[in-house]
Structure 1
Amino acid sequence: MGILYSEPICQAAYQNDFGQVWRWVKEDSSYANVQDGFNGDTPLICACRRGHVRIVSFLLRRNANVNLKNQKERTCLHYAVKKKFTFIDYLLIILLMPVLLIGYFLMVSKTKQNEALVRMLLDAGVEVNATDCYGCTALHYACEMKNQSLIPLLLEARADPTIKNKHGESSLDIARRLKFSQIELMLRKAL
């Protein structure tokens, strides 16, 4: 099931229940920025955790604050960048790959959806260099995950590859340590 939230709108956003999210925000627009009592997640963070583009788009149109942080000091951008394929996604990709490349198209579709999510947040003015409790920015996480499609978006939005996390590593250091030469090259060009 995943995470259980004490705030119903957060749970609805996490579970992709657009109708419930819509009802809560219609009732009171301040619900768009409510923070869960347990971990401080907002509905926007909850939707970004799961990659629910429609809910993210709706919340952004309702002026959800993209720069609110949860208890780990993470914004919605941190979670959008950290979004990975689920086990079921991988299973479907593997099973459908031999069948007319359907698995490949599923993978491309999921990747494009994630790019759209990050682009929406950047367009809404999320602080691209916000650090979490570990001192990591979205760019740190994109580098760790070898996400070559998101790194250019973040760099274009002025993500700083020289920011060091609490372990003293910059995004460039992470790319170098993990031997992601193409990412290292992208980051060097941004300096």
Structure 2
Amino acid sequence: MKRFFAAAVKGETGPERPSPFSQLVYTSNDSYVIHHGDLRKIHKAASQGQAWKLERMMKKMTMDLNIRDAKKRTALHWACANGHAEVVTLLVDRKCQLDVLDGENRTPLMKALQCQREACANILIDSGADPNIVDVYGNTAVHYAVYSENLSVVVKLLSCGADIEVKNKAGTTPLLLAIREKNNFIYFIFIHSIHQQLLEYKQKISKNSQNSNPEGTSEGTPEEAASLPERTPDKAECSVERTPDE
């Protein structure tokens, strides 16, 4: 009984696990409730932001920085979930794995965004974390950034090649999520990103056509190549306009 009471004091009872089709998948953090019996020393130090303690442990012995706790969470997961940027920097500098998955297939980057730890997320993005990994609910890092209305992180993720067309298990892409949440700024960023991609594609096609036909013997080719990307925005706009009605 005493052990049970002590565990109840150290831990907290999390909310009921949401359905994959619920919006709560973006904000629920029940799997990261601390039960110290489930954690190793490295996880405890990371969750509490004790960078000095981690450094001391690393000097004393060779440590596996990617070792998992009982729910497959690493020290980097714990540091990101609790917003300890100094610990994140330390672990990244010591070459820990950036894209390791926890029990719900969430990366440390996803945890940082889910828990609205922007500083930690920026460190991981700048260090090359993969923005397109999908968790058990079908969400990517961009889904979490959009839901948190973090415009600067969304822009950074897009600049790193994040895919905005991934559908989660509710059938929602980051773009549709921005529309549903009525976040006009993020919606504008997405449209701008799509427009830039279309322009780059058009320029690439035009350049390839010129290289394959430098003397211009076939006058119709550049115009035909340009017609496809020029028609594409209209189709994209139609699908976006229909979404709120649906």
- Same fold, TM exceeding 0.5? yes
Separation (CA, whole Å) in 1 of partners of 2:48 and 2:173: 34
* Structure 2 unmatched runs, 5+: 1-9, 11-32, 195-246
Q: C-alpha deviations, 1:145-171, integer Å up to 9, x for none?
A: 111221111111111111111111100
Q: C-alpha deviations, 1:121-153, integer Å up to 9, x for none?
A: 112221111111111011101111111221111
* 1:21 maps to which of 40, 50, 54: 54
1:125 is aligned to: 128
With a CA cutoff of 8 Å and minimum separation of 6, indicate the structure with the bigger relative contact order.
Answer: 1
Question: Aligned letter for 1:47?
Answer: A
TM-score (norm 2): 0.62
Q: 1:19-98 to 2 correspondence within 5 Å?
A: 19-36=52-69, 38-84=70-116
Rate the CA distance shift 1:161–1:74 in 2: closer, same or farther, 3 A: same
Q: 1:104-183 to 2 correspondence within 5 Å?
A: 114-183=117-186
- Give % identity: 32
CA contact (8 A) 1:115 1:149 kept: no
Cα displacement (A) at 1:172? 0.4
Question: Aligned letter for 2:182?
Answer: K
Cα displacement (A) at 1:69? 0.6
Cα displacement (A) at 1:28? 4.1
Rate the CA distance shift 1:181–1:60 in 2: closer, same or farther, 3 A: same
Structure whose CA Rg is larger = 2
Cα displacement (A) at 1:174? 0.5
CA contact (8 A) 2:83 2:119 kept: no
Cα displacement (A) at 1:40? 0.7
2:34 is aligned to: 3
Note if 1:12 corresponds to 2:53: no
Query: Alignment RMSD, CA only?
Result: 1.6
CA contact (8 A) 1:128 1:154 kept: yes
TM-score (norm 1): 0.78
